């Protein structure tokens, strides 16, 4: 069993804005030190400065999840800076609302490589390190789109997010015996820049009318769910997908 330092260290991908930023903020509030990564290094640095003006609890790094070597580099930088890594949140993703019959093979491969391939690389690289330490918490951001086929999102986005649900189970089985849990969270429409970019103002009323609870989800609440799964006490939860979708998908 790893020696759990206090505070623990959490790395979040795609955390310079949107849901990733909210997740980073909630982990920081819960007492974690945060490695805030993004494909845009400058944006990561700006987000880190906003969260932690003293620059003592947040480490900004550039990380392109489509490049496995970037995960290796981020892990090395984290260990050099803080000496440990306990939590990984695979959040980085892209979506494009291209009609399904118009998606090119190149565009499909690009979206899947970032969303699903990035999650795979993160689980593999960081999961191996955690297994060697005998402890770890991995949380993958899936989506309602991966469960119901998507509505406003592209087919490639929905397919990649469905793959994340399956990949979560694969790594959960692989790592369970070595103290590492792997879980997913599948949000529905969240009050976030991504949703607002995909759903024009004139369609927002219709979207809200289709959600049983009649409102968009809150990014901070999703962040709080990440905190719950990241806790050492969450050892009995692995291979799960937590649905946060306002009643749009029930099982």
Residues with active-site annotation:
157
d(CA 85, CA 114): 23
How many distinct helices (H) and strands (E) make up the chain?
10, 7
E strand or H helix at 138? strand 136-141
d(CA 61, CA 30): 21
What is the DSSP pairing of strand 9-12 with strand 87-90? parallel
d(CA 211, CA 194): 18
Crossing angle of helices 118-133/155-175, nearest 10°? 10
């Amino acid at each position: 069993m790893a020696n759990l330092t206090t505070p623990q260290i959490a790395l979040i991908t795609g955390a310079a804005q949107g849901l990733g930023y909210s997740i980073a903020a909630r982990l920081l509030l819960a007492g974690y030190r945060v490695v805030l990564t993004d494909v845009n290094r400058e944006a990561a640095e700006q987000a880190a400065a906003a969260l932690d003006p003293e620059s003592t609890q947040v480490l900004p790094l550039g990380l392109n999840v489509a490049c496995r070597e970037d995960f290796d580099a981020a892990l090395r930088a984290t260990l050099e800076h803080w000496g440990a890594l306990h939590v990984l949140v695979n959040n980085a993703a892209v979506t494009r609302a291209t009609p399904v019959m118009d998606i090119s093979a190149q565009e499909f491969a690009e979206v899947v490589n970032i969303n699903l391939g990035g999650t795979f690389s993160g689980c593999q690289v960081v999961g191996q390190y955690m297994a060697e330490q005998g402890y770890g918490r991995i949380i993958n951001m899936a989506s309602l789109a991966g469960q119901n086929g998507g509505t406003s999102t592209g087919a490639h986005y929905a397919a990649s997010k469905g793959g994340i649900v399956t990949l979560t189970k694969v790594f959960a089985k692989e790592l369970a015996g070595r103290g590492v849990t792997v879980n997913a969270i599948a949000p529905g429409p969240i009050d976030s820049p991504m949703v607002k970019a995909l759903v024009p103002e004139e369609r927002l009323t219709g979207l809200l009318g289709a959600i049983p609870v009649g409102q968009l989800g809150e990014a901070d609440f999703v962040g709080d769910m990440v905190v719950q799964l990241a806790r050492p006490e969450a050892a009995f939860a692995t291979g799960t997908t937590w649905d946060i979708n306002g009643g749009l998908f029930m099982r």
